[in-house]
Amino acid sequence: MIFTIAGKELRSMFTSPLAWVILAFLQFVLALIFLKQVDGFLMVQAQLARTPNAPGLTEVAIVPMFGVASMVLLMSVPLLTMRLVSEERRNQTMALLMSAPVSMTQIVLGKYLAMVVFLLLISSLISLMALSMLAGGAIDTGLLAANLIGLFLLGCSFAAIGLFISCLTTHPVVAAVLSLAVFLGLWIINIAATDPESWLHLLSLLKHFEGFMNGSVAVTDLIFFGLLIVTFVILSIRRLDSDRLHA
């Protein structure tokens, strides 16, 4: 049943041009950055070869690409999550799901799964671009894998928060703007902290993502993203259930 709902979400994602535009935009921007970085690497390659312990191709070309990819996700995930629930509310199509023999948990998980599949698609497109380097040289696959895991978890966290915000309103645009604001706020919340030991660093998505970008897959970061995702998925289920109870 979860797969039926996820399939329906993916279908409506790809029947509208939005998903295609986002994919194309993402590929275009990343390819641009990637080319520029590879170009820069080729220019300084001779000097790098002489310095000991110099950064390799992966550090110079691929890691910055993931940095940009995380920003693009921050901006595009709200556009994808905005309509998940709020549009169903607006068009009053929620009744089809609510009166079908499907639990609220299945509805929410189905919608979330559709987002996860879309993020997997994005991640695999990015990794293909990075792997294309294999044609002309060696890359640090460990570092690439850490970056991919980080980006995917970051996207999943955005999706969970976006899904919850979409449950709060009947206006998709309001959901998108609100999600974007929350993402940006969480991204840079650590700026507010002057004390390097401040607890605000724990909340910052950027701080947790940086670890993956440096190639370290820390258990604490995994737990942070995991908790964030589970929390917001559960909150979405609760929120939809309360629609039935109190609306």
Partner 1 sequence: MSNTAGQEITLAASGLSRRYGTNLAVDDISLDLRRGEIVGLLGPNGAGKTTTMKMITGNLAPSAGSVSICGVDLIEKPTAAKTRIGYLPEVPPLYKDLRVDEYLRLAGRLHKVAKPELGRAVDRAKLRSGLSDMGRKLIGSLSKGYQQRVGIAQAIIHDPDVIILDEPTVGLDPNQIREIRALIRELGNEHSVILSTHILPEVEAICDRVQILHRGKVVFADAISGLRQFRGGHSLQVSLRRPPPQEELSTAVAPARAEKVGDCVFRVMSQPGHDPTDQLVRASVERDWGLYQLSPAQASVEEVFVQLTRQDTANPDTAQAPAGASPDPEATT
- Torsion, Cα 154 221 202 64, to 10 degrees, reads -50
- CA neighbor of 36 nearest in space, from 19, 52, 4, 60: 60
Considering beta carbons, is residue 45 or 91 the nearer one to partner 1? 91
- CA neighbor of 5 nearest in space, from 87, 121, 99, 112: 112
Residue 62 structure tokens: 């691929």
CB distance 39 to 146 below 8 Å: no
Q: How far apart are CA 73 and CA 69, in angstroms?
A: 6
Considering beta carbons, is residue 19 or 60 the nearer one to partner 1? 19
Considering beta carbons, is residue 93 or 220 the nearer one to partner 1? 93
Q: How far apart are CA 63 and CA 44, in angstroms?
A: 17
Measured from the CB of residue 82, what is the shortest distance to partner 1 in angstroms? 16
Measured from the CB of residue 95, what is the shortest distance to partner 1 in angstroms? 4
- Torsion, Cα 91 96 98 104, to 10 degrees, reads -90
Number of residues that this document lists for the chain? 247
Measured from the CB of residue 96, what is the shortest distance to partner 1 in angstroms? 4
Measured from the CB of residue 177, what is the shortest distance to partner 1 in angstroms? 23
Amino acid letter, 34: F
Residue 165 structure tokens: 């915000």
Considering beta carbons, is residue 71 or 96 the nearer one to partner 1? 96
Q: What is the DSSP letter of 191?
A: G
Considering beta carbons, is residue 49 or 245 the nearer one to partner 1? 245
Residues interacting with partner 1, by CB under 8 A? 1, 4-5, 8, 11-12, 15-16, 91-103, 244-245, 247
Measured from the CB of residue 113, what is the shortest distance to partner 1 in angstroms? 15
Measured from the CB of residue 107, what is the shortest distance to partner 1 in angstroms? 10
